Amino acid sequence: MALWAIWLIVAGILLFLEMMTLTFYLLWLCIGAIVAAVIDVLLPGSLIAQVLIGSAVVIVLTIFTKRITRSFQKSRGFQDAVDALVGKHGVMLEDATAEAPGIVKVGNETWSAVSNDPVKKGETIVVISRGSSVLQVEKWGGNS
């Protein structure tokens, strides 16, 4: 199989994974793989050039688009889908404490969660804040 085809397969896999995570970082890797495929078509057999130029593209995209994505996120009306979880109710699937994260189901999604006070499996919680991948929750005493 031609190397450019392998680069395109890698790019397709990265694009698929990007659609699952929505982080933009895998998109930049995808674009770097596409550039490496183009370099292979233009300069066949130069794997080092493909890797170096593809990597340079990834680094440039990561550095220069950080400001753009940050300003987009600070723009009026933007709300991250994860930030929308704050205030929502869920059910604990595994016990959680401040030291040992548990698993919580909020809507149709499951998240790692910590709580200052121990929360047991099956208890209803409310999301009070979020970290990068962990929700801060507390017991919810109201009726839904």
Task: Report pLDDT digits (tens) over 114-128.
Answer: 999 999 999 999 999
C-alpha R_g of the chain: 21
Contact 36, 51 (CB under 8 A): yes
Q: Give residue 70's pLDDT.
A: 67
Asked whether residue 141 carries a pLDDT value surpassing 50, the answer given is yes
> What is the C-alpha to C-alpha distance for residues 77 and 79, in angstroms, rounded to an integer?
6
Asked whether residue 100 carries a pLDDT value surpassing 80, the answer given is yes
Q: What is the pLDDT of residues 44-93, one digit of tens each?
A: 988 999 999 999 999 999 888 877 766 665 666 555 555 678 889 999 99
Contact 136, 130 (CB under 8 A): yes
Q: Domains, the chain, ranges and CATH? A: 3-74 (no CATH), 83-139 (2.40.50.140)
- What lies within 8 Å, CB to CB, of 134 at 6+ separation is 101, 111, 112, 113, 114
3-state DSSP of 42-94: HCCCCHHHHHHHHHHHHHHHHHHHHHHHHHHHHCCCCCCCCHHHCCCEEEECC
pLDDT band at 40 (very low <50, low <70, confident <90, very high): very high
Asked whether residue 30 carries a pLDDT value surpassing 90, the answer given is yes
Q: Is 101 or 80 the better-scoring residue by pLDDT?
A: 101
What pTM was estimated for this model as a whole? 0.53
> What is the C-alpha to C-alpha distance for residues 117 and 7, in angstroms, rounded to an integer?
49
